[in-house]
């Protein structure tokens, strides 16, 4: 194979890789930016009023917000965690996360253009069925004490009372790898 083809192939591969990186990066950054905005600008009382219940109107609002958010999975999960920490009900949090990753607006447009209205209808119907199933499971099988404990732990971990992170751990909670210790060896 001539050197020109190899270099051309590598250049094309790097171009495609850069495009994939860009397409993934913007959605992750968008999710992080929305999470930061929710953390900074939305107070607990307002979030509790908007998404704190588990009725059909609240689930519909969370569904619409999820469809409009167009975040990647990582971004959607961080936004959903932030919404839950600020007072959103577990059911509306689950609805937001499911829709933000599976039934986004531009995916619907693509499905309609490439596959037709029947596939789009099936996608939307399956999304509604999924949300209803998750709502039923969360509502009737999972104890509310688990969600209350989770919300309290999230708020304490982030210093949600307005206190700064004063411990010696990094704010993002990422720490280096633990040192290797053979079985039976303890730290002195």
Asked if residue 68 lies in contact with residue 103, where contact means CB atoms within 8 angstroms, the answer is: no
Whether residue 178 is contained in a domain is answered as: no
C-alpha to C-alpha distance for 134 and 72, rounded to whole angstroms:
20
pTM of the model: 0.63
C-alpha to C-alpha distance for 163 and 104, rounded to whole angstroms:
36
User: Any idea which residue has 């290797």 for tokens?
Assistant: 180
Tens of pLDDT along 106-162?
778 888 888 899 999 998 899 889 989 988 888 888 888 888 888 888 888 876 444
Q: What is the pLDDT of residue 164?
A: 40
**Does 61 have pLDDT greater than 60?**
yes
Look at 8-12, 132-136, 173-177 and tell me which has the smallest mean pLDDT.
173-177
Number of domains in the chain: 1
Asked if residue 71 lies in contact with residue 101, where contact means CB atoms within 8 angstroms, the answer is: yes
**Does 23 have pLDDT greater than 90?**
no
Q: What is the pLDDT of residue 26?
A: 72
Whether residue 153 is contained in a domain is answered as: yes
Greater confidence, 46 or 180? 46
Whether residue 134 is contained in a domain is answered as: yes
The CA-CA-CA angle for residues 58, 61, 63, to 5°, reads: 110
C-alpha to C-alpha distance for 2 and 11, rounded to whole angstroms:
14
Whether residue 103 is contained in a domain is answered as: yes
Whether residue 137 is contained in a domain is answered as: yes
C-alpha to C-alpha distance for 149 and 163, rounded to whole angstroms:
20
Whether residue 175 is contained in a domain is answered as: no
Q: What is the pLDDT of residue 106?
A: 74
In degrees and rounded to multiples of 5, residue 88 shows phi and psi of -70, 145
Asked if residue 69 lies in contact with residue 32, where contact means CB atoms within 8 angstroms, the answer is: no
Q: Take residue 119 and report the two structure tokens written for it.
A: 């596939």
Q: Which domain holds residue 57?
A: 12-157
């Amino acid at each position: 194979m001539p050197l020109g083809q190899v270099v051309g192939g590598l250049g094309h591969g790097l171009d495609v890789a850069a495009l994939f990186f860009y397409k993934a990066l913007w959605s992750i950054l968008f999710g992080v930016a929305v999470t930061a905005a929710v953390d900074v600008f939305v107070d607990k009382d307002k979030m509790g009023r908007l998404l704190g219940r588990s009725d059909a109107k609240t689930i519909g609002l969370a569904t619409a917000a999820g469809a409009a958010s167009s975040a990647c999975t990582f971004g959607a999960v961080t936004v959903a965690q932030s919404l839950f920490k600020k007072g959103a009900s577990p059911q509306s949090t689950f609805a937001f996360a499911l829709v933000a990753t599976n039934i986004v607006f531009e995916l619907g447009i693509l499905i309609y253009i490439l596959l037709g209205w029947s596939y789009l209808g099936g996608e939307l119907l399956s999304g509604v069925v999924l949300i209803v199933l998750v709502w039923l499971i969360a509502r009737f099988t999972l104890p509310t004490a688990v969600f209350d404990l989770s919300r309290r732990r999230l708020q304490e971990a982030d210093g949600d009372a307005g206190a700064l992170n004063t411990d010696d751990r990094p704010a993002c909670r990422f720490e280096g790898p633990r040192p290797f210790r053979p079985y039976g060896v303890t730290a002195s």
